[in-house]
């Protein structure tokens, strides 16, 4: 589904990713772990196409398409979802309005009919219910006044509504208490644990991986993947620290 080959990327002319390669097949959940400054968030934003994150070398194939040639909204329409470490607050724009427009824009690119207001609300309500989020909250401005946990829950509701093929979740576990962590973990499993979907979890800690079991764990250090293994690698990292493993 996703094939990253020798990816180099710079931010403000500073090289951050230095030859990162990774292959993710449908049905798999991968976790990338790594110390601060390893390039985890840069990888997320580069794959999402955020302005300022410049690819200088390498290629990314997403389901047969050249991902790097697509604009951010086209990547979304192709089935990519980014879960933000810090979901953005947007005063004056209601979640429901924005998500309906976003979903219908994606459907248009894929040649599908737009959802009516009623159909969309039904879908939104089902996803909000599944994440234990009040529908009233979904009518409020995007993330405004939401707690850290509510913002992450809202990311999962958005993911449920948009129903992507591949989700890249950047430190979705940060700022969550134990209960919220379980809810978000369950959400990831419910929405994305399917044979035709895949997930790339980016995290500092092992704890999210107790809820969302990865098939593969990779260690990112200094802009490259320095070690890959099964779920046991995450436990090793937790015990020994990145310094030992990455060395």
Q: Which of 9, 29, 77, 166 binds other proteins (CB under 8 A)?
A: 77
**Greatest distance between any 2 Cα atoms in the chain:** 55
Q: Which is nearer to other proteins, 201 or 234 (CB)?
A: 201
Span 131-150, contacts to other proteins by CB under 8 A? 141-142
Task: Spell out where the chain has E strands.
Answer: 2-11, 14-24, 29-33, 53-62, 65-66, 80-83, 90-94, 141-142, 166-170, 198-203, 216-221, 224-229
Span 45-74, contacts to other proteins by CB under 8 A? 48-51, 71-73
Sole residue written with tokens 């991902």:
67
Taking the C-alpha atoms of residue 229 and residue 54, their distance in angstroms, rounded to an integer, is 29
According to the binding rule CB under 8 A, does residue 158 interact with other proteins?
yes
Taking the C-alpha atoms of residue 159 and residue 44, their distance in angstroms, rounded to an integer, is 16
Span 86-105, contacts to other proteins by CB under 8 A? 87-88, 90-93, 97-99, 101-103, 105
The CA-based angle 104-130-199, given to 5 degrees, is 70
Contacts of 82 (CB under 8 A, 6+ apart): 44, 45, 47, 48, 167, 168, 170
153 within 8 A of 183, measured Cβ to Cβ: yes
Q: Which is nearer to other proteins, 158 or 172 (CB)?
A: 158
Q: How far is the CB of 25 from other proteins (least distance, A)?
A: 23
Q: Which is nearer to other proteins, 45 or 216 (CB)?
A: 45
Q: How far is the CB of 229 from other proteins (least distance, A)?
A: 30
Span 172-231, contacts to other proteins by CB under 8 A? none
Instruction: Provide the angle, in degrees to the nearest 10, between the axes of the packed helices 117-130 and 148-162.
Output: 130
Q: How far is the CB of 54 from other proteins (least distance, A)?
A: 15
Q: Which is nearer to other proteins, 202 or 234 (CB)?
A: 202
Taking the C-alpha atoms of residue 169 and residue 156, their distance in angstroms, rounded to an integer, is 10
Q: How far is the CB of 53 from other proteins (least distance, A)?
A: 10
Q: How far is the CB of 189 from other proteins (least distance, A)?
A: 22
How many chain residues interact with other proteins (CB under 8 A)? 31
Residues that bind other proteins (CB under 8 A): 48-51, 71-73, 75-77, 82, 84, 87-88, 90-93, 97-99, 101-103, 105-106, 109, 141-142, 158, 162
């Amino acid at each position: 589904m996703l094939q990253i080959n020798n990816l180099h990327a710079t931010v403000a002319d500073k090289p951050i990713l230095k030859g990162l390669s990774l292959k993710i097949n449908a049905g798999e959940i991968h976790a990338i772990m790594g110390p601060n400054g390893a390039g985890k968030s840069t990888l997320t934003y580069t794959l999402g196409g955020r302005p300022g994150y410049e690819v200088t070398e390498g290629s990314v194939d997403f389901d047969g398409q050249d991902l790097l040639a697509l604009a951010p909204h086209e990547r979304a329409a192709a089935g990519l979802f980014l879960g933000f470490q810090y979901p953005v607050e947007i005063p004056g724009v209601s979640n429901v309005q924005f998500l309906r427009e976003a979903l219908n824009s994606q459907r248009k690119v894929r040649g599908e009919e737009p959802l009516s207001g009623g159909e969309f609300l039904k879908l939104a309500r089902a996803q909000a219910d599944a994440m234990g989020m009040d529908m009233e909250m979904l009518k409020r401005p995007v993330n405004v006044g939401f707690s850290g946990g509510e913002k992450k829950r809202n990311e999962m509701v958005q993911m449920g509504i948009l129903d992507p093929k591949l989700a890249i979740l950047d430190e979705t576990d940060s700022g969550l208490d134990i209960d919220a962590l379980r809810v978000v973990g369950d959400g990831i499993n419910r929405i994305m644990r399917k044979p035709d979907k895949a997930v790339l979890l980016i995290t500092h800690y092992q704890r999210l991986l107790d809820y969302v079991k990865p098939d593969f764990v990779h260690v990112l250090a200094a802009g490259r993947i320095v070690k890959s293994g099964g779920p046991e690698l995450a436990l090793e990292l937790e015990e020994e620290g990145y310094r030992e493993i990455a060395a």
